[in-house]
Structure 1
Amino acid sequence: MSTFLLVPGLHLGGWAWDTVVAELTAHGHRALPVTLPGLAERAGEDPAAIGLQEHTDTLADRLGAEEPGVILVAHSYGIFPTLAAADRLPGKVARLVLVDTGLPEAGESVLTLMPHLLDAADGPVLRVPQQIDAVHGVPAAEWERYRRLATPHPARTVTEPIKLTDAWRALPTTGILCVHGGLTLETVRSLHATGAPRFAGLAEPGVTYFELPTGHYPMLSTPVELADVLIRAAAGGGRGLLEP
């Protein structure tokens, strides 16, 4: 049995993982979805008081309450507080799993990588997108649930830089690439082939990859398949970057 701590991306709460949680539980695992401050059922909290540090502290507290061996899963924006928490408590983490997201460097913010997010700024929050592109494959019923449950996202969480000591780099890591959104093994190989230092670790032993034939929201579009891949990742499955 594995324990999965599931961290959502922008505008999402623990609700986004509902079907994934049900699948993991049905296979005998513990699945713990996280809602970060200011989102979903915590949307009543003052967004102006919530930055990346508050999200990191919340997740580190959840991680610290678990026994060692957690499979720490981050979707999209969630990699920022997830990586910072794993860096703080690497002894608690058995594997870090990245769902359709990259790895920030120390001192970077979400806006460093995605400056267009400021277009959605509305005072202390980022507005919820009015649509999800068809390429992501989200069924109509799940899109309706997204529209009903998604919440404005505290804006300071995307402007504050991440604090890292690089203790996390010793952790086994798996990337789940959602190919319909453009992130594929071939893309990652191309990044690694540039020789840039930030991409050197992409082909390290202990780093594996899976591709999913869906878009950026696999917990909504292909949750059963995502749960299966998470179980396989927890067992050390997946392909190395340079494997044929």
Structure 2
Amino acid sequence: MTTFILVSGVFTGPHVWDGTAARLTSAGAEVRAVALTGLGGAGPSVGTEADLETHIADVVAVIDSVGQGAGGQIVLVGHDYGIHPVVGAADRRAEAVARIVYLDSGLPQDGVPALAAVPDPGVRDEVLRAAAEGTPGTGSVLPAPGRDGWQLWGSTADVPDAALDRLTALASPQPLATLLQPLRLTGAAAALPMAGVLCAGNGASIAMVQAQVNLGEPGLQPLTDPRVTFFELPTGHWPMLSGTTALAVTLLKAAAGEGHRLTPVDAARPAPHLRPFLLDMPEVPCERTDTMDLYLPQDVHGPRPAVVFVHGGPVPPGARPTPRDWPTLTGYARYAADHGVVGVTLDHRLHALTDYERAADDVADTVRRVRADPRVDADRVALWFFSGSGPLTADWLAKPPAWLRCLAADYPIMAPLPNWGRFDSRFHPADAVTGAGSLPLVLVRAGLEANEIAATVEEFLAAARRCGANIEVVDVPDGHHGFETIDRTDASRDAVHRAMGTLLRHLTA
């Protein structure tokens, strides 16, 4: 028989698992929902003294109380913050644990506190300020959120109103030390099978994880181990409240070793973003500087218009090749050069969600350098953004300079996803587009886009239409995110030609 040990996240207690536990029990499993010290009514008088080690000990105690019956297995399930005491306990009782399930959570690392996984930068700052002040009483805990504050910890999509009311009513302040104390691991649990349950409504998906693996993120390469499986639920961050039955079924499958397995990076078979561009473009002269490449038209004299292609992200700093050498970027740059326009690719520093400001600085600096080049017509420049660089369009939409002749975006993320936390208002294109005026805009929309990304595009388009923006939408009905190297179809090729044709007309008019 399988015993599920369920550990909830910040501010919460065993009550969040009531529905899931009932369904697991009816399926023949044993269930233990852990009461972490100081949370969910488990000893509030000592709650402010609890730290991460306290909560690890709570989980270890439950593991020890279960033991390992003949033919039985223990499956640890950690949601949100709960994955930190789960991994800590598994490290101390690796011989007793059959599997760890990461439920819409991060990947805890040795020496890293749980605070690093908190999605909202404002909350992280609040915790650090409270810790620095060292105020007794309320200063040693993070107050539980009000009913409307749970969104800062993850999407509440699909959670019934009554369940959200109960979640709020039973919430407890979170002891700061549980978030600030570094997790200490010996590595004993590293070999345990694991399953990741991702909540698409919170902005996470198997495709996104696979894409990050493909980019060479070192910390994610172990996720391609055959003992690691993945599941995806079409709901927000609280599936135990919004999709109880689906979560129970998923946990049973995870315990049985089922699920999707990621594809390892294989040098013999390029990752999707490194496959050839869908159009055969001629070689053109390329001039490389530190972070920027210029693809130059041949046999063309005098200053020429230019288009700067801005890659998406976040991209790990160690990714090789770097984005300016990715086939999509080089393919578009050669296309531009073949039509008498200088194509520009660059590497900017969008390595994490907190890097948008410095990435914006990099793009602005590249544009200044391009316009200063005597081979470029400084009054005729276009910008083309891809994927996760979508938020960077806001700066240019809000107050377009006279020399910006067109702005394009392919399958962009045009608003923060739910698991991004609060996001700098500077990088909200739907707000900025009201200042775009007559600037020509081209948006290439992938028909098979992830729902969460597609929603940000629709939000932006609705705002653009309300303010009468000059926007052309190019649809690729059967196209995926990154279709230029994935979908070698006539429809995809037509979309590239149409988008490039519009941009080139505005540049050369």
User: What is the TM-score with the length of structure 1 in the denominator?
Assistant: 0.94
Find the partner of 2:199 among 171, 178, 183: 178
Q: Which amino acid aligns with 1:55?
A: H
CA separation in 2, counterparts of 1:117 and 1:163?
A: 23
- In structure 2, distance between residues paired with 1:142 and 1:113: 25
> In the alignment, which residue of structure 2 is the partner of 1:110?
114
Contact residue 47 and residue 124 of structure 1 kept, 8 A: no
In 2: Cα distance, 1:161 partner to 1:153 partner:
16
Q: 1:135 to 1:146 in 2, by over 3 A?
A: closer
Q: Which residue of 2 aligns with 1:19?
A: 19
Secondary structure of the structure 1 residue equivalent to 2:229:
strand
Judge which range, 107-116 or 210-219, deviates more.
107-116
User: TM-score w.r.t. structure 2 length?
Assistant: 0.46
Give the distance between the partners of 2:168 and 2:117, measured in 1 at CA.
26
Equivalent of residue 94 in structure 1, options 90, 93, 98? 98
Across the two proteins, how many residue pairs are aligned to each other? 243
Matching of residues 60-209 of structure 1 within 5 Å: 60-68=60-68, 69-114=73-118, 115-118=121-124, 119=126, 122-130=138-146, 131=148, 132-133=150-151, 135-209=156-230
Paired residue type of 1:227: A
1:122-153 deviation per Cα after TM superposition (whole angstroms, max 9, x unaligned): 51111112223465221111011111111111
Question: Structure 1 residue 240 and structure 2 residue 261: aligned?
Answer: yes
Residue 42 of structure 1: how far off its partner (Å): 1.3
Matches of 1:33 and 1:128, distance apart in 2: 20
Tell me the SS of whatever aligns to 2:190.
helix
The 2-side partners of 1:74 and 1:215 are apart by 16
SS in 2 for 1:41: coil
Classify the secondary structure of the residue corresponding to 1:103: coil
The amino acid that maps onto 1:126 is L
- Matching residue of 1:51: 51
Q: Is the 8 A contact 2:156 2:238 kept in 1?
A: no
How far 1:196 moved relative to its partner?
2.9
Q: Distance in 2 between matches of 1:51 and 1:90?
A: 22
Q: How big is the shift at 1:49?
A: 1.3
Identity %: 38
Deviation at 1:63, TM superposition (A): 1.1
Distance 1:11 1:223 in 2: 20
Q: Secondary structure at the match of 1:39?
A: coil
> Residues 56-93 of structure 1, C-alpha deviation per residue, up to 9 Å, x if partnerless?
11111211222232011000100111001001111111
Equivalent-residue separation in structure 2 for 1:180 and 1:5 (angstroms)? 25
Q: Quick check: 1:6–1:72 contact (8 Å CA) kept in 2?
A: yes
Counterpart Cα distance in 2 of 1:146 and 1:230: 22
Amino acid at match of 1:80: H
Structure 1 unmatched runs, 5+: none
1:104-135 residue CA offsets vs partner (Å, 9 max, x unmatched): 11000122233543426551111112223465
Q: Distance in 1 between matches of 2:140 and 2:18?
A: 28
Counterpart CA distance in 2 for 1:98 and 1:88 is: 17
Q: Which runs of 5+ in 2 are unaligned?
A: 131-137, 265-509
RMSD: 1.6
Report the secondary structure of 2:44's partner residue: coil
Distance in structure 2 (CA, Å) of the matches to 1:83 and 1:5: 12
